[in-house]
């Protein structure tokens, strides 16, 4: 089985490719390297013994899509390519809509032209906006998004829903990822964040390696047990397994499928810092600062639908996630540029 993985050189895509290769599924990667390093291919080869085929190009380029579809018999497409920084999306909304929405439209057009009707889309818990209640189920309200990034994911979900309404022979899966962290346990691949990290885990790891002095804890007066924000952190390899479960169970069956990929457990900022101290054996200094604008107290999933329908559930503990994030960061302090 050959699967086109757009954005396959990125953080999540590279881990999905490893899982696929270990399951005998062949990934064909399309990536424009806008947020990736080609060294990832060598790392995937080190882990799996197989170097995947890479097409260097943009998903918005129809010609490259048609070339790939005519050179390979693609059974399904996993569409990860896109921009993902929430803060940047507020400052550069048009770039975000262009990349995230136009790439999906171009991909669907090309798939239609070549008769490929199976698509798995990387959506986000961001589509739920400010949750009315937790845990979030797939039936919870969506659309009241709080930033252009979340809105771009919501728009693509709507486009794919309309596509399915018009063409119900398609298999369309919307995967809503929660907070993805961790790295492959070999420490050969992981999240290679550039610049000052906006997200909690990359920031804590940068403090642990000594690049920054302390973690800024955004708010301590939320209505949560320790007053800090609670999120559903999921190990990237569990997330990758979720994609395999989709490929094995529903990707060749027509239908529209929507799943949360989370653990169903909420972890606070202070609990995360404590887990990092344990993983790194270092004291992690932190300072309580004002809450971040747009942040919410709690966001965590109910992952029961994915278990009931796909037999998938997250396996890694919070300590595993943090240990693997730390091992990756400490062994590759400058990410893929460490070489």
Closest to 199 measured CA to CA, from 186, 212, 215: 215
DSSP class per residue in 75-141: EEEEE--S---HHHHHH-HHHHHIIIIIHHHHHHHHHHHHT--EEEEEEEGGGG-S-SSSSB-TTS-
Residues interacting with ligand NAD, by CB under 6 A?
6-7, 9-13, 30-36, 58-60, 80-82, 84, 99, 103, 122, 124, 177, 179-180
Shortest spacing between CB 297 and ligand UD1, in angstroms: 8
Residue 269 touches which of ligand NAD, ligand UD1, none (Cβ within 5-8 Å per kind): ligand UD1
Identify the bridge partners of residue 181 per DSSP, sorted by sequence position.
235
Q: Is 286 a catalytic residue?
A: no
What is the CB neighbour count within 10 angstroms for residue 47?
19
Residue window 151-190: x/- pattern of binding to ligand UD1, with contact defined by CB under 6 A: ----------------------------xx----------
- 225 sits near ligand UD1 (criterion: CB under 6 A): no
Binding of residue 126 to ligand UD1 (CB under 6 A): yes
- If one asks whether residue 292 binds ligand UD1 (CB under 6 A), the answer comes out as yes
Kindly tell me the sign of the dihedral angle through the C-alpha atoms of 106, 159, 145, 13. negative
User: Cβ 148 to ligand UD1, closest distance in Å?
Assistant: 11
The entry of ligand NAD, ligand UD1, none that residue 141 binds, CB within 5 to 8 Å by partner kind: none
Query: Bridge-partner residues for 259, per DSSP?
Result: 175
Total of chain residues touching ligand UD1, rule CB under 6 A = 21
Phi, psi torsion values for 274, nearest 5 degrees: -65, -40
CB closest to ligand UD1, residue no: 229
Q: Which stretch binds ligand UD1 (CB under 6 A): 31-39, 62-70, 195-203, 247-255?
A: 195-203
d(CA 286, CA 289): 9
Phi, psi of 59, rounded to the nearest 5 degrees: -65, -25
CA distance 52 to 26: 8
Choose from ligand UD1, ligand NAD, none: what does 200 bind? Cβ within 5-8 Å by kind.
ligand UD1
Residues 6+ apart with CB under 8 A from 301: 125, 135, 136, 137, 176, 178, 232, 260, 261, 262, 263, 264
312 binding ligand UD1? (CB under 6 A): no
**Among 215, 270, 261, residue whose Cα is nearest residue 239:** 261
Catalytic residue among 128, 149, 164, 257: 149
**Residue 10 binds which entry of ligand NAD, ligand UD1, none, CB below 5-8 Å type-dependent:** ligand NAD
Closer Cβ to ligand NAD, 30 or 183, answer by number: 30
Q: Which residue is nearest to ligand NAD (CB)?
A: 10
Looking at 9, 20, 47, 86, which residue binds ligand UD1 (CB under 6 A)?
A: 86
271 close to 318: Cβ distance less than 8 angstroms:
yes
Q: Write down the least CB distance from residue 25 to ligand UD1, Å.
A: 26
Task: Identify which of residues 125 and 332 has a Cβ nearer to ligand UD1 in the complex.
Answer: 125
Binding residue for ligand UD1 (CB under 6 A) from 162, 278, 295, 311? 295
212 contacts ligand UD1 (rule: CB under 6 A) = no
DSSP letter for each residue of 22-71: HTT-EEEEEE--TT--THHHHHHHHHHS---EEEES-TT-HHHHHHHHHH
Using rule CB under 6 A, residue 217 touches ligand UD1:
yes
Pick one of 42, 199, 206, 254: the residue that binds ligand UD1 (CB under 6 A): 199
* Catalytic residue IDs: 149
Residues that bind ligand UD1 (CB under 6 A): 86, 124-126, 150, 179-180, 198-200, 203, 215-218, 229, 231, 269, 292, 294-295
């Amino acid at each position: 089985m050959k699967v086109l993985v757009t954005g396959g050189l990125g953080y999540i895509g590279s881990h999905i490719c490893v899982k696929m290769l270990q399951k005998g599924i062949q990934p064909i990667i399309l990536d424009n390297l806008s947020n990736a390093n080609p060294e990832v291919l060598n790392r995937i080869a080190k882990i799996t013994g197989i170097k995947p085929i890479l097409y260097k190009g943009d998903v918005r380029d129809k010609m490259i899509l048609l070339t790939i579809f005519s050179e390979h018999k693609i059974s399904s497409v996993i569409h990860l390519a896109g921009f993902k920084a929430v803060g940047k999306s507020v400052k550069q909304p048009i770039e975000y809509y262009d990349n995230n929405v136009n790439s999906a439209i171009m991909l669907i057009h090309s798939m239609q032209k070549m008769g490929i009707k199976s698509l798995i889309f990387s959506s986000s818990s961001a589509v739920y906006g400010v949750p009315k209640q937790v845990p979030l189920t797939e039936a919870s309200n969506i659309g009241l998004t709080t930033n252009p990034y979340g809105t771009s994911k919501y728009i693509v979900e709507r486009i794919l829903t309309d596509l399915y309404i018009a063409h119900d022979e398609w298999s369309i899966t919307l995967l809503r990822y929660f907070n993805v962290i961790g790295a492959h346990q070999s420490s050969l691949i992981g999240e290679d964040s550039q610049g000052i990290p906006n997200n909690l885990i990359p920031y804590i790891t940068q403090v642990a390696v000594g690049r920054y002095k302390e973690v800024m804890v955004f708010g301590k007066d939320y209505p949560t047990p320790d007053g800090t924000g609670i999120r559903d952190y999921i190990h990237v390899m569990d997330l990758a397994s979720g994609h395999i479960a989709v490929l094995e169970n529903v990707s060749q069956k027509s239908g529209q499928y929507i799943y949360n990929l989370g653990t169903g457990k909420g972890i606070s900022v202070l609990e995360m810092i404590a887990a990092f101290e344990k993983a790194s054996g270092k004291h992690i200094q932190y300072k309580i600062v004002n809450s971040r604008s747009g942040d919410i107290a709690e966001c965590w999933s109910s992952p029961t639908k994915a278990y009931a329908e796909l037999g998938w559930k997250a396996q890694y503990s919070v300590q595993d996630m943090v240990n693997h994030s730390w091992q990756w960061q400490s062994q590759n302090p400058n990410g893929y540029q460490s070489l």
